[in-house]
């Protein structure tokens, strides 16, 4: 299918390809070097410009020698003069830069889109997606993604356009991760718990051209569209598993993709640095920032997930992590890479988790500590015996060692990772050592609670002094800021050059997280820089205090923030949720802390109440700080 766009850096290529497969980007002939300059032919002029070789000693030094000018081998010929205004092309000094140029035979841009095409080609009949009674194979998913891409192009969506989606973990959300970038557009996934004003801001800031939205969110999205300045095409996801649903647009997703071509010949990105997705960070202190991912970074993140977690081929993955959160930590692309099966889960609670694991023989899943809480505290009526050990990757707030130990006793093997939206989700992993298996369970849990070491695709993750950018000692005590550098760092913040420059100051990405580095090089978070409590000049890690609180047998959840204090400046304030049927007093909690930590770290205030959380399970500490100020 012909297109009216040109290839080249930042664009999309146009090399012809058979229908039904991707079209590779076109490049110039091999006469061009990697730097874009033509390689020079070896002319007499070029040879004359080359540095002279050292003279070689004659075989018979005593034999008579002719004058230099009389020797035929060194007769000096006049060099060809370049035409007026032109310079003779230079031959690269490096022999490995001569006639070894990048071309379509030896180079293709890194992109996760090719993972889908390969799985559909190699494993066409393997199950790719399960959602309620719906089942798709890899060949069907590939065809549906191409139908989506074709329909988008027919509606004028192309290179650099933003397609926004608001949906739970359903097949349409998975397909958008491939169909949208197949036409060079950028996928923007919305947090399903945002209010109308924030949604309207994101729609406008991202300059959304087309919106795909699940009808479950009809109330908030209609309000958001009324507030927004943009007027995108609206496509509804009409999922029968949603009970409370109403139309928003005039066309359903199935009707929309039915107009597309299942044999659509999509294109590789013109450059692997092209944007693939947009993710907005939580705007707790102002408007959210739009984090831009590249095709290159997304592909490398997928490779990292598959290799660092050692998933193997054809895992069965349960979607307890929202796909809208950092593109599901890049697992939509990872599962295409390993031809795994996505087990979608629209409603997440203890019963649906255990039912899905057992009924679909789930092998892997991801989630924030809130999902661990569902598992640990599941009632007998919700729990079902597991057929196998389930691999569970967790991140977000550092899970206390007591939580990790408890969940592993219930048939789950925990892998602890750490990252941020700005680093494609997981960028470090607590890589396990076989000899640690001989340690007591509590010590294993303590080691596993550390954030660990960098993913292989990341160049460096270090704890540095934020003022000097010098590494802190490997003593497990000196605190510094976590800095990232390498292929798993975002392109930058959309339309926010000031924030991008600040985040990349000094050649590192500044995370804002505080931590220490142990003697073995493993890092461990201590706090967010904004969450650290300074009491009487002493720094108190809220994570450390929370870890002690979780050791109390009555504590289900705990969060600690600073409360203003006239004498000390700030003191720790603990907000606690108790386990069902358990009772404990504030004095008993304080006594427990006194027996397990230094006196200045003990919470002076204890409040029993539910914790405010984001849709990904993170405790909203900015809300708790406001509550603490009002006490």
Question: Would 621 be classed as within a structural domain?
Answer: yes
At 32 the pLDDT is 38
Say whether pLDDT at 190 is over 80.
Answer: yes
Alpha carbon of 157 to those of 99, 161, 180, 256: distances in Å?
Answer: 39, 6, 9, 13
At 20 the pLDDT is 55
CA-based nearest residue to 506, from 455, 460, 457: 460
- The answer to which of 68-77, 325-334, 449-458 has the lowest mean pLDDT is 68-77
Tokens of 305: 């997930």
Mean residue pLDDT of the chain comes to 86
CA-based nearest residue to 173, from 200, 144, 198, 133: 144
255: phi then psi, degrees, rounded to nearest 5: -65, -40
pLDDT range class, residue 16, cuts 50, 70, 90: very low
Say whether pLDDT at 122 is over 50.
Answer: yes
Do residues 294 and 275 touch, judged by C-beta distance below 8 A?
yes
Rounded CA separation 152/559 (Å): 45
Rounded CA separation 234/241 (Å): 21
Alpha carbon of 211 to those of 214, 243, 615: distances in Å?
Answer: 10, 21, 21
- Give 609's contacts (C-beta < 8 A, 6+ positions apart): 575, 576, 577
Tokens of 276: 């693939």
Question: Would 586 be classed as within a structural domain?
Answer: yes
How do residues 200-225 score in pLDDT, each as one tens digit?
999 999 999 999 999 999 999 999 99
pLDDT range class, residue 449, cuts 50, 70, 90: confident
Tokens of 260: 């597309």
Question: Would 205 be classed as within a structural domain?
Answer: no
At 68 the pLDDT is 39
Question: Would 383 be classed as within a structural domain?
Answer: no
At 404 the pLDDT is 78
Question: Residue written as tokens 């959304």?
Answer: 208
Pick 431 or 619 by higher pLDDT. Answer: 431
At 615 the pLDDT is 60
Tokens of 411: 């048939």
Rounded CA separation 98/230 (Å): 51
Rounded CA separation 286/289 (Å): 9
Do residues 18 and 266 touch, judged by C-beta distance below 8 A?
no
pLDDT range class, residue 90, cuts 50, 70, 90: confident
Coil, helix or strand for 254?
Answer: helix
Question: Residue written as tokens 């000049």?
Answer: 537
At 146 the pLDDT is 98
Question: Would 620 be classed as within a structural domain?
Answer: yes
- The answer to which of 160-169, 191-200, 248-257 has the lowest mean pLDDT is 191-200
Residue 558 pairs in a beta bridge with 576
551: Cα separation from own chain's centroid? 32
* 38 secondary structure, DSSP code: B
pLDDT range class, residue 29, cuts 50, 70, 90: very low
Classify the C-alpha dihedral 590-593-594-599 as positive or negative: negative
Half-sphere exposure of 377 (CA within 13 A, CB side): 19
- Give 203's contacts (C-beta < 8 A, 6+ positions apart): 164, 211, 224, 225, 228, 230, 232
Residue 462 pairs in a beta bridge with 483
Based on its alpha-carbon atoms, the radius of gyration of the chain, rounded to whole angstroms, reads: 30
3-state secondary structure 150-214: HHHHHCCCCCCCEEEEECCCCHHHHHHHHHCHHHCCEEEECCCCCCHHHHHHHHHHCCEEEEEEE
Say whether pLDDT at 31 is over 50.
Answer: no
Coil, helix or strand for 408?
Answer: helix
Give me the mean pLDDT over the 62-87 stretch. 49
At 616 the pLDDT is 60
How do residues 279-311 score in pLDDT, each as one tens digit?
998 654 457 899 999 999 999 999 999 999 989
**Domain extent for 591:** 531-630
Rounded CA separation 414/557 (Å): 19
Question: Would 467 be classed as within a structural domain?
Answer: no
Question: Residue written as tokens 């057929």?
Answer: 387
Coil, helix or strand for 22?
Answer: coil
How do residues 552-589 score in pLDDT, each as one tens digit?
999 999 999 999 887 787 899 999 999 999 999 999 99
Pick 51 or 578 by higher pLDDT. Answer: 578
CA-based nearest residue to 349, from 317, 320, 388, 380: 320
Question: Would 133 be classed as within a structural domain?
Answer: no
Rounded CA separation 299/305 (Å): 10
Rounded CA separation 12/539 (Å): 52
Rounded CA separation 396/369 (Å): 7
Coil, helix or strand for 96?
Answer: helix
**pLDDT > 70 fraction of the chain, expressed in percent and rounded:** 84
How buried is residue 320: exposed, middle or buried, by Cβ count under 10 Å (0-12/13-18/19+)? buried
Please report, for the domain that includes residue 574, its CATH number.
Answer: 3.30.300.30
Q: How many domains does the chain have?
A: 1
Rounded CA separation 25/12 (Å): 6
Do residues 212 and 148 touch, judged by C-beta distance below 8 A?
no
Rounded CA separation 352/361 (Å): 13
Say whether pLDDT at 25 is over 70.
Answer: no
Give me the mean pLDDT over the 492-514 stretch. 95
Q: Determine if residue 467 is left, alpha or beta; phi over 0 gives left, psi from -120 to 50 gives alpha, anything else beta.
A: alpha
Do residues 245 and 129 touch, judged by C-beta distance below 8 A?
no
- Our CA angle for 134, 139, 142, nearest 5°, is 90
Pairing of strands 538-540, 555-565: unpaired
How do residues 514-551 score in pLDDT, each as one tens digit?
899 999 999 998 877 778 787 876 778 888 899 899 99
Question: Would 405 be classed as within a structural domain?
Answer: no
């Amino acid at each position: 299918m012909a297109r009216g766009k040109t290839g080249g850096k930042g664009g999309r290529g146009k090399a012809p390809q058979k229908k039904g497969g991707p079209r590779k980007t076109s490049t110039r002939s091999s006469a061009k070097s990697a730097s874009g300059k033509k390689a020079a032919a070896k002319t007499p002029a070029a040879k004359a410009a080359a540095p002279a070789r050292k003279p070689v000693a004659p075989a018979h030094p005593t034999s008579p020698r002719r004058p230099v000018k009389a020797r035929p081998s060194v007769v000096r010929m006049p060099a060809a003069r370049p035409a007026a205004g032109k310079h003779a092309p230079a031959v690269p000094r490096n022999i490995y830069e001569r006639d070894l140029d990048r071309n379509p035979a030896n180079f293709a841009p890194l992109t996760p889109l090719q993972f889908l095409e390969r799985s559909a080609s190699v494993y066409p009949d393997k199950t790719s997606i399960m959602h309620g009674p719906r089942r798709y194979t890899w060949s069907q998913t590939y065809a549906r993604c191409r139908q989506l891409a074709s329909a988008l192009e027919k509606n004028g969506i192309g290179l650099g356009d933003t397609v926004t989606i608001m949906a739970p973990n359903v097949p349409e959300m998975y397909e958008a991760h491939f169909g949208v970038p197949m036409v060079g557009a950028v996928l923007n996934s919305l947090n399903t718990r945002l209010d109308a004003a924030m949604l309207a801001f994101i729609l406008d800031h991202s300059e959304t051209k087309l919106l795909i939205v699940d009808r479950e969110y009809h109330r908030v999205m209609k309000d958001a569209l009324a507030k927004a300045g943009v007027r995108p095409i609206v496509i509804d996801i009409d999922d029968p598993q949603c009970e409370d649903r109403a139309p928003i647009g005039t066309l359903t997703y199935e009707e929309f993709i039915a107009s597309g071509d299942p044999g659509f010949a999509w294109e590789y990105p013109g450059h692997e640095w092209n944007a693939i997705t947009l993710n907005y960070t939580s705007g707790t202190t102002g408007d959210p920032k739009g984090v831009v991912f590249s095709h290159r970074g997304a592909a490398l993140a997928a490779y990292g997930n598959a290799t660092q977690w050692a998933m193997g081929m054809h895992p069965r993955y349960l979607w307890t992590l929202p796909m809208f959160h950092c593109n599901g930590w890049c697992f939509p692309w990872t599962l295409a890479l390993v031809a795994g099966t996505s087990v979608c889960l629209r409603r997440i609670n203890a019963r649906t988790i255990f039912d899905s694991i057992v009924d679909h023989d789930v092998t892997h899943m991801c989630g924030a500590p809130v999902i661990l809480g569902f598992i640990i505290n599941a009632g007998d009526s919700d729990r079902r015996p597991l057929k196998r050990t389930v691999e569970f990757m967790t991140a977000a707030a550092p899970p206390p060692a007591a939580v990790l130990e408890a969940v592993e006793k219930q048939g789950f093997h925990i892998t602890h990772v750490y990252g941020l939206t700005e680093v494609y989700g997981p960028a470090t992993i607590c890589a396990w050592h076989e000899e640690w298996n001989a340690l007591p369970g509590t010590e294993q849990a303590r080691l596993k609670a550390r954030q660990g070491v960098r993913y292989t695709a990341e160049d460096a993750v270090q704890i540095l002094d934020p003022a000097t950018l010098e590494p802190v000692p490997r003593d497990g005590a000196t605190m510094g800021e976590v800095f990232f550098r390498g292929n798993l760092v975002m392109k930058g913040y959309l339309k926010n050059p000031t924030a991008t420059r600040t985040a990349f100051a000094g050649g590192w990405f500044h995370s804002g997280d505080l931590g220490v580095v142990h003697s073995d090089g493993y890092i461990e978070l201590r706090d967010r820089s904004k969450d650290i409590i300074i009491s009487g000049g002493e720094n108190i890690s809220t994570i450390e205090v929370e870890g002690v609180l979780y050791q109390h047998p009555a504590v289900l959840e705990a969060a600690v923030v600073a409360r203003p204090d006239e004498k000390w400046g700030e003191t720790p304030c603990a907000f606690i949720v108790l386990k069902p049927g358990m009772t404990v007093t504030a004095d008993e909690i304080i006594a427990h802390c006194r027996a397990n930590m230094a006196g200045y770290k003990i919470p002076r205030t204890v409040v029993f109440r539910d914790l405010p959380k984001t849709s990904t399970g993170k405790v909203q500490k900015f809300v708790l700080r406001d509550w603490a100020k009002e006490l």
